[in-house]
Amino acid sequence: MSLRTWSSGGGVQSIAGLVLSARGVIDFPVHLFCNTGDDSENPNTLDYVHNVAMPYAKKHGIEYLELRHTFKSKKYIERYGEGETLLGRIYRTRKSVPIPIRRSGGFPLSRTCTVDFKIKVIAEWLRENGATTAAPAISAIGFSIDEWSRVKNNSGFNFQKLVYPLSDLGMSRQDCIKLIDDEGLPIPHKSACWFCPHTQPLEWVQMADTNPAQFSKAVELERFLSAKYGEPLFLHKYLVPLPDAVKQLYFSIDTPNTQDCVGHCFT
């Protein structure tokens, strides 16, 4: 029998998939959460995964596993330890910028964060746990019907077949929120790394207001990446440094981005 796993990012759609699995609406007994690093993931997401999702999954007989990227260079392991985080890679590498930070013209740099810290991590786990070309793993991705543009038919691995249960069930993000609420679970925070360039303007303002220490780290990271790349780079979509961006009052009416990290994205 083929493996049946759900790629979880810890956000609304992912937790809706967990509830559907617990209710027996869909058959995905293993949920895989790829942690890009305790220093990289949004702390709210990690708190929800550890204190809400995992206990709920255990209660309902579902495996909810936390996976991490492993760096296999002996030299690296001797110096930094076995685990490599996304933030650690950003500060460690000499020139590489693995996140889609924007240049002054508005074009993002090519990213490797999703591939290296999520897609490949899940693929490696699937192979280690029996997925083959003859018996490919069935991997569920939590894209709802309002995210149809993110759907891809091919994962790039011949031992993995992608499916989209939420879309198949005709569920929107709001449907997912209602399902989670009806189950008596708290609604999870939008999931992503706390320094993700896809963070929306209002979310940056909220970070600066409610978590100034974390916002200061984002400002420091933006400056570091600009210096490393040799030109101004911007985490904020308005292509100005973060401190200047949050001072602009007009963007506070922007509609926040509703797309969560679902653990296996292709955008």
- Residue ranges and CATH numbers for the domains of the chain are 4-191 (3.40.50.620), 199-257 (no CATH)
Q: What's the CA angle centered on 42, arms 89 and 146, to 5 degrees?
A: 110
- From the list 183, 203, 139, the residue with the least C-alpha distance to 165 is 139
- Digits of tens for pLDDT over the chain (267 positions)? 789 999 999 999 999 999 999 999 999 999 999 999 999 999 999 999 999 999 999 999 999 999 998 766 566 556 655 678 999 999 988 878 999 999 999 899 988 999 999 999 999 999 999 999 999 999 999 999 988 777 787 778 999 999 999 999 999 999 999 999 999 999 999 899 999 999 999 899 999 999 999 999 999 999 999 999 999 999 999 999 999 999 885 445 554 554 556 555 533
Q: What are 163's strand-pairing partners?
A: 140
Whole-model pTM?
Answer: 0.88
Rounded alpha-carbon distances, angstroms, from residue 142 to 27, 146, 194, 195, 213: 14, 11, 20, 22, 32
Integer-rounded Cα radius of gyration of the chain = 19
Laid out side by side, the sheet with 4-8 consists of: 63-68, 30-35, 4-8, 137-141, 160-163
Element of type H or E holding 223 = helix 212-229
Q: 5: Cβ–Cβ under 8 A, 6 or more apart, which residues?
A: 28, 30, 31, 32, 122, 126, 137, 138, 139, 140
* Residue type, position 13, single letter: Q
Tokens 């797309």 label which residue? 259
